Structure formats: C-alpha cells, structure tokens
Amino acid sequence: MLRQLLLAIVLPCAATLPLAHAAEPAKPFFALHDLGHGVWAAISPPKSPAGANAGFVIGPDGVLVIDTFEDPAAAKAMLAAIRAKTDQPIRYVIDTHYHLDHVAGNDVFAQAGAAVMAQENVRTWERTQNLKFFGEHPTAKQAQFVASLGLPSVTYQHGITLWLGDRKIIVRALEGHTGGDSTVVIPDAHVVFTGDIFWNHTLPNLIDADTREQIASNDTYLHDYPGATFIPGHGEPGKAADVRAFRDYLVTLRKDIAAAQQSGKTGDLLVNTVLSELRPVYGDWGWFDYFARHNIEQTAAELQGIKRAPEPGVP
C-alpha cells in the first residue's frame, strides 16, 4: 500500500493512491544524518512513504525545516526528532518546490508555529498541479487531499535571507526542476539543500523540468559551493563529484536525444536507441528502470519545443 503511494507521486500515470497515512511503517521513514553545526538531513530510503529527503537546522534561537515529505505522518516523525533535540521554536519551513513529496507535511509545522515559505509559484501550483500525479481520473479522496495541502504563507520571487540568531541562511531560487525551485544554503556549516535540482546517483523525475536550466543550476552549485555537502531531494548526501555526475547525466541525455533526432529517429526507435546508450553508464542508478523512458520522452519533447510546463500565475 505504501509503495503504491510512492509510485503515485513519482509516476504521473499511476492510478491509485491509498492515502493510508495513519500507521507507522515497519521501517523508519528516514535516517537522520548529523552534518554538524546543528544541521541534520533526514534521508528517506527508497520506497519509504516519506517519499523524499528533508532536513532541519537548529540555531541559537529557533529551528528551520527544509521540506515536509509526502506523508504527514513522516512530518510528525521529523517534528518528534526535532523536539528530542531542542525545545527552540520552529520558526521557518522552506518548501523547495511544489511537488507532493516535498509539501504534504506543511501543516504539521504550521500548527507547531512555523511560517511556511516558498518561491511564489509553489503557492500557485501546489493545490492544482499536484493532481496530475494521480492520473487522469483522481478519486474524490485524492482530490480532497491535494485541495487541502497547506500552502506557503510567505512567498518570494528570487530568494530570501533568514536568520537563526546570528546564523545566516541563504535561500536562492535556482530553476530547472519545476520553475519554482529553492536551494537552501547554510554557509557556516558548508551544507546546501538542493531540493530536486540534484538527485544523487538517481534518475530524476523530469515531468516539469527545463533541463537546460537544471544543468545551469548544478553548474552554479559547483561554482559557488565546491566544498559543500549537498543534500539532494532523492538519494544520499553527496559532494561536488556527485553533483557533477548528475549534471553530466542531464548533458548526456540531451546530447544523445539530439543526435537521435538529427538522424531522423522518433517514437520507440528514438527511445530504444537512447536507452541502449544510457544503460551501460547509468543502468545502476536509482529509479533507472522507472524513469529512463520518461526522461527520454519528456526531454525529446523539450528539445522539440513542445513540452508543456506549468505556467506561473497569480500566487
């Protein structure tokens, strides 16, 4: 059942979603990684109903949370993990983007007193665009779940600077995964939370992606934070070499597709040609069998200029 929930979010054609949020899973939702300086990453193992990674920063006078999982029960587990370490108020939540696996626990932290913040397109898209992850005919229960997601109460266009006492947290709107992505930089800890701009040795969901922008954002990470620890939206914490490997995957994907298109290939022939080129290098990456075909089809459409992406609207 819980696996179905995960598949529902990662595959747009998945048909069912049980919305069984109540039970604690047999395995933990996430593993906490101590990154020093009060910075913690909550890394979700594959198939966890938490659905994505998250994290938090404990400062001298408050706590910042980055992302809130796909399941409110996982958010409650992270709230309990924070409370086991500090009784400082939880001041801020940053949603790195609107996708369901990063925002479904927003209300858990809002009810604990936090201001939920995000790039303005997150507020525009969160209760509308997330419906597509339930297929063409969402159930009433699924529609109600999406319609009741907790929205950001503070939005920004290009970024925001937050302070936990004298600790500076830089939030930058770097694009590529959805058109409304935020990167959270904790300079004094040399940690960067990338959201889904970076997936560590894992194929990405490119349903909303602009891969040219996504490559540029990964180049920004390598240029601006070469010594940092990068917490991806999916996969284990990484270093610059891992960011470079992911960036190179996107470059290779675009290059192989462009070459196939230039030789006149379309449809299944194009997909199978590019798959056979990617598999020897990337076949052991997470979600390869799940996402490779979608990555090729969606990026082929992007290169042809016919890919549809969510439009910015009134936040």
Least distance (Å) between residue 284 CB and Zn ion: 21
Which CB, 7 or 303, lies closer to Zn ion? 7
Nearby residues of 6 by Cβ (< 8 Å), 6 or more positions away: 47, 48, 49, 51, 70
Whole-number Å distance between alpha carbons of 50 and 294: 23
Q: At what angle do helices 288-304 and 267-282 cross, to 10 degrees?
A: 130
In DSSP notation, 40-92 reads EEEEPPTT-TT-S-EEEEE-SS-EEEE---SSHHHHHHHHHHHHTT--S-EEE
Which CB, 17 or 52, lies closer to Zn ion? 52
HEC string for 189-258: HCEEEEEEEEECCECCCCCCCCHHHHHHHHHHHHHHCCCCEEEEEECCCECHHHHHHHHHHHHHHHHHHH
Do the Cβ atoms of 60 and 167 come closer than 8 Å?
yes
Least distance (Å) between residue 102 CB and Zn ion: 6
Least distance (Å) between residue 97 CB and Zn ion: 8
Do the Cβ atoms of 218 and 177 come closer than 8 Å?
no
3 state DSSP class of 272: helix
Which CB, 59 or 235, lies closer to Zn ion? 235
Of the candidates 281, 294, 201, the residue with the CA atom closest to the CA atom of residue 244: 201
Interaction site with Zn ion (CB under 5 A): 52, 101, 196, 233
Which CB, 52 or 173, lies closer to Zn ion? 52
Least distance (Å) between residue 264 CB and Zn ion: 35
Least distance (Å) between residue 270 CB and Zn ion: 27
3 state DSSP class of 168: strand
Least distance (Å) between residue 52 CB and Zn ion: 4
Which CB, 150 or 233, lies closer to Zn ion? 233
Which CB, 128 or 276, lies closer to Zn ion? 128
Which CB, 52 or 186, lies closer to Zn ion? 52
Whole-number Å distance between alpha carbons of 60 and 40: 15
Which CB, 101 or 208, lies closer to Zn ion? 101
Which CB, 62 or 195, lies closer to Zn ion? 195
What is the rounded end-to-end Cα distance, in angstroms, of the chain? 34
Whole-number Å distance between alpha carbons of 87 and 93: 16
Least distance (Å) between residue 233 CB and Zn ion: 4
Between the CA of residue 307 and those of 88, 116, 153, 236, 303, what are the distances in Å?
45, 30, 30, 30, 8
Least distance (Å) between residue 100 CB and Zn ion: 8
Least distance (Å) between residue 178 CB and Zn ion: 10
